[in-house]
């Protein structure tokens, strides 16, 4: 990795990355000319390390002690500030690119178990029969019990053509199942689209990566080139965890001609900026309905907030996650990275989304028409539930009191399966017709067109 220092503003909602760091040399504090209090604190830290190293009942790994100490320090700031070892830093960079070598599954840690959220359509894992909710217990024979999420991801990623064996435990199966998979190039498809009916388009943005704006403009061009002029658009940002700040700004700019898109305000002047919209020769003047839910976070909340404040789109769904902070990633020596929070962001009207979220103009809970029960998001974890989360405003001004949600419930409903299939699987008109939020958005757009024709 080049030693040149780089900065990348990122808004990704990263859950479960392992963090570790090691400072080489025992006298690292001696060069500090800062205040005495800092010096004394570092001296105490050094004394503790020395005492534990020499006197603890069992032998200790000094490197590991220092790593854990720095883990605790950085985690105490807020949930999104992290020190990244080279492997985790590399994975974070890969996540913003357009493709990677791997097997094609989306995974998470649930109660310490490495769990498949969904296989990605057309990938080795999908073709082999890996399913959502499979628990991966081994990768190439190595237990995942003590693995961090980034470690597991790194073990499963690799060059195209190389084999990897994953062992899964599946509900209803008496024995673990081995899948021997041949890695392939996995495209990270952030934009999907189709026509809901002639004149009405649907675009889903799953995350904000380097090519998202380009892919969005291509999708809009395709929808606008149909035989029937585009009369309305459904922009789906549900379960979009965020991504690159510049892409959120550019996506918003596609639909706005002027005014503020977002402002970020930090403690330092260089971290305080206002981002403005620009007039574009490609006009997209049709009405829009923007879908959000509790899984819409960070960059997706910037887009929803900008369109809402400018009255450019009607926001429909349920209140978003509420991550209103901006992280920068600094490149450190030896391949390490430091991701830390530098600012809060505010919508064009000056609203802080932090720990509050985007409140929809029309609240509609998700329910799939082939199910009896609705998707109750009240049990899903949000930003305000995370330990050490930032408050909405730096000094508490104008902050509204909100009740804390419960943590995520054990029981997952069928609607979650629908959501993951929609996000990572094929996009079909049949699937969208069972989604009440999409259908409600379409009804609103059709009604608007009818009303405009009657009273225009």
Q: Catalytic positions, please?
A: 298, 309, 323
Q: Which residues contact 219 (CB under 8 A, 6 or more apart)?
A: 191, 192, 193, 203
Q: How far apart are CA 221 and CA 113, in angstroms?
A: 43
Strand partners, 275: 262
Q: How far apart are CA 242 and CA 120, in angstroms?
A: 19
CA 142 to chain centre: 28
Give the DSSP per-residue string, 191-256. EEEEEEETTEEEEEE--B-TTHHHHHHHHHHHHHTSSSPP-EEEEE-TT---BBHHHHHHHHHHH-
Q: How far apart are CA 147 and CA 145, in angstroms?
A: 6
- Cα–Cα nearest to 71, from 88, 52, 54: 88
- Cα–Cα nearest to 282, from 250, 234, 247: 250
**Tally of CB atoms within 10 A around 7:** 10
Bridging pattern class, strands 325-331 and 135-139: unpaired
Q: Which residues contact 207 (CB under 8 A, 6 or more apart)?
A: 12, 188, 190, 240, 241, 242, 243, 299
Between helix 299-309 and helix 245-255 the angle, nearest 10°, is: 30
Identify whether the C-beta of residue 16 lies closer than 8 Å to the C-beta of residue 88: no
What is the three-class DSSP state of 8?
strand
The CA-based diameter of the chain, rounded to the nearest angstrom, is 85
């Amino acid at each position: 990795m080049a030693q040149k220092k780089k900065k990348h503003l990122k808004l990704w909602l990263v859950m479960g990355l392992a963090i570790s760091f090691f400072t080489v040399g025992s006298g690292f504090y001696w060069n500090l000319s800062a205040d005495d209090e800092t010096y004394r604190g570092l001296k105490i830290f050094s004394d503790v390390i020395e005492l534990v190293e020499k006197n603890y009942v069992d032998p200790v790994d000094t490197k590991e002690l220092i790593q854990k100490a720095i883990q605790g320090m950085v985690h105490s700031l807020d949930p999104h500030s992290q020190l990244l070892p080279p492997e985790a830093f590399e994975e974070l960079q890969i996540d913003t690119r357009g493709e990677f070598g791997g097997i094609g599954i989306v995974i998470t840690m649930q109660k310490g178990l490495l769990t498949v959220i969904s296989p990605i359509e057309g990938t080795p894992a999908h073709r082999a029969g890996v399913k959502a909710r499979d628990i991966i217990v081994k990768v190439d024979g190595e237990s995942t019990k003590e693995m961090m999420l980034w470690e597991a991801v790194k073990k499963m990623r690799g060059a195209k053509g190389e084999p990897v064996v994953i062992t899964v435990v599946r509900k209803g199966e008496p024995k673990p199942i081995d899948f021997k998979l041949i890695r392939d190039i996995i495209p990270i498809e952030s934009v999907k689209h189709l026509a809901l009916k002639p004149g009405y388009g649907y675009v889903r943005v799953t995350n904000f990566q380097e090519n998202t704006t380009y892919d969005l403009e291509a999708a809009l061009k395709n929808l606008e080139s149909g035989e029937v002029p585009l009369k309305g658009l459904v922009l789906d940002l549900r379960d979009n965890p965020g991504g690159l700040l510049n892409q959120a700004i550019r996506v918003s700019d596609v639909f706005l001609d002027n005014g503020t898109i977002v402002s970020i305000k930090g403690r330092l002047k260089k971290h305080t900026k206002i981002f403005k919209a620009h007039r574009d020769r490609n006009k997209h003047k049709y009405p829009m309905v923007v879908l959000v839910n509790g899984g819409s976070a960070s960059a997706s909340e910037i887009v929803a907030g900008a369109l809402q404040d400018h009255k450019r789109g009607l926001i429909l769904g349920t209140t978003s996650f509420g991550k209103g902070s901006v992280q920068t990633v600094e490149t450190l020596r030896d391949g390490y990275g430091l991701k830390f929070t530098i600012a809060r962001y505010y919508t064009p009207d000056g609203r802080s989304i932090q720990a509050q979220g985007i409140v929809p103009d029309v609240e509609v809970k998700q329910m799939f028409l082939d199910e009896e029960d609705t998707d109750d998001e009240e049990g899903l974890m949000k930003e305000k539930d995370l330990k050490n989360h930032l408050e909405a405003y730096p000094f508490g001004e104008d902050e509204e009191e909100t009740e804390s949600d419960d943590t995520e419930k054990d029981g997952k409903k069928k609607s979650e399966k629908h959501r993951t299939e929609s996000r990572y699987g094929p996009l079909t008109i049949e699937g969208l017709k069972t989604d009440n939020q999409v259908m409600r958005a379409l009804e609103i757009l059709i009604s608007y067109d009818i009303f405009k024709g009657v009273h225009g």
